Amino acid sequence: MNIKNKGDLIKRFIDFNKDTNLFYNNFYLNDFKIIIKIPLIEKENSQLEIEIEKFSIVNDIYLTSY
């Protein structure tokens, strides 16, 4: 049985989306190759906009992993 480390399953990083001008806290699910993006700062008078998307860094500027 092959057991992966927790760090291999989910990777976390922060990026900046130049189209929306928002910083995002990201959770990369390695097995599915998708990103769950949560804005670090919510826009006034709006609901929390959580995005789930296929991994791509075309519109984002990678800042750091943690």
The residues spanned by each domain of the chain are: 6-65
> How far, in Å, CA of 3 to CA of 15, rounded?
29
DSSP 41: S
pLDDT tens digit string along 12-63?
999 898 888 889 999 999 889 899 999 998 777 667 788 888 877 666 777 7
Name residues whose C-beta falls within 8 Å of residue 52's C-beta, 6 or more positions apart in sequence: 34, 35, 36, 37
| Global pTM value | 0.68
